[in-house]
Structure 1
Amino acid sequence: MTQAEFVVVANRLPVDKAGPGEGEDGWRRSPGGLVTALEPVMKETDGAWVGWPGQADLEVEPFDFDGTQLIPVALSADEIEKYYEGFSNDTIWPLYHDVIAAPRYRRVWWDSYVRVNRRFAEAAANAVKENGTVWVQDYQLQLVPKMLREMRPDLTIGYFHHIPFPAYGLYSQLPWRRLVLEGLLGADVIGFQRVADAGNFARAVRRLFRYETRAGRITVPGEDGTAHTALAKAFPISIAAETYMELAKKPEVQARAKEIREGLGNPKAILLGVDRLDYTKGIRHRLKAFGELLEDGRVTVDDVTLVQVASPSRERVEAYVQLRDEIELTVARINGDHDTFGHSAIRYLHQGYPREEMVALFLAADVMLVTALRDGMNLVAKEYVATRNDNRGVLVLSEFAGAADELGSALKVNPHDIDTLKDTIIQAIEMPEADQARRMRSMRKRVLEHDVKAWSDSFLAALDDARAAKERATR
């Protein structure tokens, strides 16, 4: 295996196992935003990517895909259950999302999390050249930075946290709170979505370790008496905005948007929600507000339709099974009470769609509803804005989504306040075109200037600064 100067470590590889007769040597590129964000960097650096290949007990040798060396880390079915579905998604995910659902703390899950993190760290340590750079991604791998530093002190290590980081009053519940912070503090640069998340992290470090923190720089003492500096800072992630703009210009995509409107009975206004089926996304609150608007007679099914795309998520985790049942029951009740032969109140779609279809949906929608109860960023909000080359459409955006820090011209809502959410939906439906255009132009300027390349460039620049500082210190 050839070692690389630059290595990404993520829970998943940037490819999926392809079906018979498709993909390069049985693999196809994953559609995720992280893959799009890092693809140019990987090609420029001849980098390597360490990750799980997506199936239990799948043993695969390292291989090249589209110019990037991929290094699979095998996981057993038991490890997927305990490390991924258990500790990552039934402990860390709900805890870091403000305990919207109750986290479960199980020692066997933690033990598996430690073992799997060590396996990822070992794979990365073997994959990277001397004095190279490793960039660790997200909450499934919070222990990897410290493990890597212990194995390879020559490395420059970055970590990016794609989800929120909670206030200390919540974080302190975690039985392994010190060990997780120590794991993250192994990095030279620790990136967060929002300034508030970086602040929560720094406060937790001060409370538990009394380390000196100044302007986001944390002095971390080593066991050998030396110290290193970790920078904890906000680097808000974004999207490949130009890709969405170009798709929105395609005649076939525009024709599909018109077809979608016709298929819904050409209502005066289409409301759209696009989410993973997750309790953090505020889908229940959105449905409740819309159902009450129908009950109150403030909207009718002839005039307004809500399209809710809820892509499947973590279907073996009990909280998600219950959530799906609850949402589908709510949709059925609202439609049963209000549907006519010609129009449906809610068109509910429990499936994922290719990007072209999503862009057509964005073009068809008059109002985009992003009502997350807590969200690291929410890239759907940015995708909607990038798609609207016509400067039409209204974004209703939860103040608890990271995107709210950047998209200041959206209509901001507290999704827990159902009455105000209802009023805001009506305001969005009735907004004059001139007001829509003014708000959309402002948001589009932000999304286009701060695209995904700007995000990766800013983080990698911080890593370069950290490497240069280390080199100066050893002269």
Structure 2
Amino acid sequence: MEHTRFMNAPQVTTDNNSAETPGTDALYDFVVVSNRLPVDRVVAPDGTESWKQSPGGLVTALEPIMRSNDGAWVGWGGQPDLAIDPFDNDGIHIVPVPLSEDDIEKYYEGFSNDTLWPLYHDVIAPPTYHREWWESYVAVNQRFADAAAAVSAEGAVVWVQDYQLQLVPKMLRDKRPDLTIGFFNHIPFPPYGIYSQLPWRAAIIEGLLGADVIGFQRVADASNFARAVRRLTTSSTKTTTIEVATPGQPPRRVIAKAFPISIDSRSFEELARQPHIQARAKEIREGLGNPKTIMLGVDRLDYTKGIGHRLKAFGELLADGRIEVEDVTLVQVASPSRERVQAYMDLRDEIELTVGRINGDFATMSHTAISYHHHGYPREEMAALYLAADIMLVTALRDGMNLVAKEYVAARFDDDGILVLSEFAGASDELKRALRINPHDIDGLKETILQAISMSKRDRSARMRSMRKRVLEYDVARWSTSFLTTLASVHDHRESVQAATPAADPLDELEWTVERAPRGTGL
């Protein structure tokens, strides 16, 4: 069987190897496994049910590959106790994995989002460790692995996504050693001094090492992972290669490296060029009182995003008299996030109190200091907001990538606008012409905001042109192609690599990361 055929539109096969319309007994050569399905369930007022495609870069990146290769997508339907049979949706076979209320509480809200999320984001908030959460995480990961194994053809490629499913690669390899397995971590991987706090640290590393290729957002994340491998296992690491010892067999080669994710930048630019989007951007400015400068923040309401830091800097600039409310307005979009988790409830209260205080102190009858919105917007409205904003503020305290920064750049076909970007966001590795800041340095953030406000049109255009070139060239399609090409190459070279390590690694030619691992990182 040709293991790389998922790149070349294979036929769906069944147990008797005949082509067939996908069904519950069909097997697939390309399978994606993620916590959520790429579709959302919609119930109409009359009670009829339907499914619509979820927004997001991952779905956009993989949708063409899934359709051309009759792929299957394994994931949760987004609602508790939702038992649905597998079905086809617009060329993709959907395999729902049901989660109970207890699963959601312990596996998802508990271990994934109250243990792993804060731990992997440099313990900005303290992680919580509960053994029953871990037990649920193991059980649910096994359920996802079993579902993926059941729909994967012999020698299929399975691509597992993100921190909720870190045990799935090893579970799949134990159950189906014929599979070629990839894993991509969409969030940071922490330094070992932080990661070592996790009671189940070795089990997570072993789970990830079940994959053939492990992708990270930044070179530093891959370096952190390699150090954890050296500390917690007997496997050896060299540059991006990990030799995983297997009893009675030659070492198995695993590639762990950076594949910085991106967006569908061309479609975002095309959207921003639409006349009605540009008209809407003008309406937004007029609705805000036509200030000289509009600053924009777009985030999930999450403690990793540094929303409070940017509000503090903005409030101090107003209090110092260095900017005037008639001249500068901050628009803050904070979409709801994990609203049943106490830390997020507390954060919302804190942010909204701060917004109210600043508006109470500085707003006039005709101008509001902060226009605050606790809900999400469709892509069309976001494109208009990006065009309306003179300055984009990305003040994340820790972020795997931050695709909002790339969306802002892609939307600015006019080569205008200024991106103020946290050095702790993965996007800062690529968008080097942004005004980079340390969000913990409030005085430095204030000075950078003032620099952005006073920047000349010539300087703004030069910076934006450079960033746009990067975002348009390294789009989400290039990200997925790079990862899958590396995954195919690992399989194709597996036997020869196990026999002898070549002087020049052919896989190195596939690397397109922003920068090579610096000396002394230990990668």
**TM-score normalised by the shorter chain: which range applies?**
over 0.9
Q: How does 1:26-425 map to 2 (within 5 A)?
A: 26-425=50-449
Give CA deviations for 1:8-48 in whole Å, capped at 9, x if unaligned: 00000000011317999611110121111111111121100
Alignment deviations for residues 397-448 of structure 1 (CA, whole Å, 9 cap, x no partner): 0000000000000000000000000000010111100000000000000000
Q: Write the distance in 2 (CA, Å) between the matches of 1:428 and 1:460.
A: 39
Contact 1:22 1:28 in 2 (8 A): no
Deviations 1:244-294 (A, max 9, x none): 110111010000000000000000000000000000000000000000000
CA separation of 1:326 and 1:27: change in aligned 2, threshold 3 A: same
Q: What is the letter of the counterpart of residue 104 of structure 2?
A: I
Q: For 2:316 and 2:47, locate their aligned partners in 1 and report how far apart those are by CA, in whole Å.
A: 47
Greater shift after overlay, 207-216 or 182-191? 207-216
Contact preservation (8 Å) 2:234, 2:245: no
Give the drift of 1:223.
Answer: 3.8
Amino acid at match of 1:92: L
Bigger drift between 39-48 and 253-262 goes to 39-48
Q: How many angstroms apart in 1 are the aligned matches of 2:131 and 2:360?
A: 45
Instruction: Please name the residue that 2:17 is paired with.
Output: none
Match of 2:517 in 1: none
Query: Is the contact made by 1:17 and 1:53 (CA closer than 8 Å) also made in structure 2?
Result: yes
User: Residue 452 of structure 1 aligns with which residue?
Assistant: 476
Rounded to whole Å, the distance in 1 between the matches of 2:360 and 2:33 is: 48
Amino acid at match of 1:78: D
Question: 2:9 is matched with which residue?
Answer: none
Judged with a 3 Å threshold, the aligned counterparts in structure 2 of structure 1 residues 260 and 405 are, in CA distance, closer, same or farther, namely: same
Q: 1:470: Cα distance to partner?
A: 2.9
Name structure 1 gaps, 5 residues minimum: none
* Counterparts of 2:350 and 2:120, CA distance in 1: 23
Q: CA deviation at 1:227?
A: 2.4
> Partners of 1:195 and 1:384 in 2: how far apart?
24
Give me the CA root mean square deviation. 1.4
- The 3-state SS of whatever aligns with 1:227 is strand
Q: State the distance in 2 between where 1:222 and 1:60 align.
A: 38
Return the letter of the residue paired with 2:291. Answer: P
CA distance in structure 2 between the partners assigned to 1:272 and 1:464 by the alignment: 41
Give the 3-state SS of the residue equivalent to 2:62 in structure 1.
helix
Per the TM alignment, residue 224 of structure 1 is displaced from its structure 2 partner at its CA by 4.0
Structure 2 residue runs of 5 or longer lacking an equivalent are: 1-23, 500-523
Mapped partners of 1:66, 1:94: distance in 2: 36
* Secondary structure at the counterpart of residue 127 of structure 2: coil
Q: Residues of 1 paired with 2:262 and 2:347: CA distance?
A: 28
Task: Measure how far apart 1:473 and its partner are.
Answer: 6.9
Q: Deviations over 1:310-347 (max 9, x none)?
A: 00000000000000000000000000000000000000
| Match in the other structure for 1:470 | 494
- Matched residues, percent identical? 68
Contact 2:311 2:355 in 1 (8 A): yes
8 Å contact kept, 1:24–1:65: no
Q: Is the 8 A contact 2:250 2:498 kept in 1?
A: no
SS at match of 1:281: coil
AA aligned opposite 2:29 = E
CA contact (8 A) 2:97 2:144 kept: yes
Contact 2:43–2:49, Cα closer than 8 Å, also in 1: no
- C-alpha distance in structure 1 between counterparts of 2:68 and 2:327, whole Å: 51
What CA distance in whole angstroms lies between the structure 1 residues aligned with 2:49 and 2:153? 27
TM-score using structure 1 length: 0.98
CA distance in structure 2 between the partners assigned to 1:359 and 1:323 by the alignment? 27
> Is the 2:156–2:180 contact (alpha carbons within 8 Å) kept by the matching residues of 1?
yes
Is the partner of 1:297 in helix, strand or coil?
Answer: coil
Deviation digits for residues 39-64 of structure 1, max 9, x if unmatched? 11111211000000010000000000
1:245–1:388 Cα contact (<8 Å) kept = yes
Q: Is the 8 A contact 1:283 1:371 kept in 2?
A: yes
Residue 126 of structure 2: SS of its match in structure 1? coil
Counterpart Cα distance in 1 of 2:46 and 2:470: 38
Total equivalences in the alignment = 475
- 1:336 counterpart letter in structure 2: G
Q: Is the 8 A contact 2:252 2:498 kept in 1?
A: no
Aligned position for 1:11: 35
Compute the displacement of 1:472 (Å).
Answer: 5.0
Q: Distance in 1 between matches of 2:339 and 2:357?
A: 23
- The amino acid of 1:219's aligned partner reads E
1:358-386 Cα shifts (integer Å, max 9, x gaps): 00000000000000000000000000000
For residues 497 and 216 of structure 2, what CA distance do their matches in structure 1 show?
26
Identify if the C-alpha distance between structure 1 residues 22 and 171 changes in structure 2 by more than 3 Å, giving closer, same or farther.
Answer: farther
TM-score, with structure 2 as normaliser? 0.89
- Kept in 1, the 8 Å contact 2:251–2:498? The answer is no
Runs of 4+, deviation exceeding 4 Å: 21-25, 471-475
